[in-house]
């Protein structure tokens, strides 16, 4: 299992466009990918679940990746968060 934290820097937080891009990336991997923010948890492969987190600028998101391709998935997600959010 791989885990990392990221603090949202985008002034709009995780809104529709980056949430959609995030889901596209997560669906490329077989691993289970979970996001935790403000006491809520979401399956990162489901757009509505990601949006329901309500992650805003300054919020800390914990990303947990578990599965056979977890190292590759975690690396891709870290890059995504740094670039997009």
Residues with catalytic roles: 15
Spell out the long-range contacts of 26-31 with Cβ–Cβ below 8 A and sequence spacing 24 or more.
26/73, 26/77, 28/73, 28/76, 29/65, 29/67, 29/69, 29/72, 29/73, 29/76, 30/67, 30/68, 30/69, 31/65, 31/66, 31/67, 31/68, 31/69, 31/70, 31/73
């Amino acid at each position: 299992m791989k885990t990392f934290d990221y603090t949202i820097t985008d002034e709009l937080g995780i809104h529709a466009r980056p949430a959609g891009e995030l889901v596209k990336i997560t669906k490329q991997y077989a691993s289970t990918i979970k996001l935790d923010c403000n006491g809520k948890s979401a399956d990162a492969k489901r757009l509505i679940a990601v949006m329901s987190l309500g992650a805003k600028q300054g919020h800390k998101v914990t990303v947990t990746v578990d599965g056979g391709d977890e190292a590759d998935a975690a690396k891709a997600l870290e890059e995504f968060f740094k670039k997009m959010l």
